[in-house]
Amino acid sequence: MLGRALQEYLQPPGGVRNHTLEQCLRLYHTIRAPRAERVQMTSRQAGDLYQMKAEEFAGLSFDDALPVAKAMIQDRMKWIWTVDIDNVYEQARTEWQQSKATL
């Protein structure tokens, strides 16, 4: 995404630069920050999950906790592989351009 934001600045569509480098980097940050926060959150959750310290394991024996762990692990990082990051970028870019037009 950083590459796309820099390209937005260095080679703007139509060849006319109508935004600053700072604006392009801010666009990148609007996409990066929520994803980075979600990765951090899921990393903390993974630690609790792999140590079986998550709330879902309270009061369960090891054998009873295994199916719960499997269900929690199965799709926990699917979002990072299935989200179309190019679509996320284009949507953020469109919203950014619309907000610039209303200023």
Per DSSP, 83 falls in state: S
Helix or strand (DSSP H, E) at 76? none
Phi, psi angle pair for 20, to nearest 5°: -90, 165
pTM of the model as a whole:
0.69
The answer, yes or no, to whether residue 52 has pLDDT greater than 80, is yes
Residue 11 tokens, joined: 């080679």
pLDDT tens-digit profile of 58-85?
999 999 999 999 999 888 888 888 989 9
What is the sign of the dihedral through the CA atoms of 80, 60, 55 and 50?
negative
The answer, yes or no, to whether residue 103 has pLDDT greater than 50, is no
Q: What percent of the chain has pLDDT over 70?
A: 96
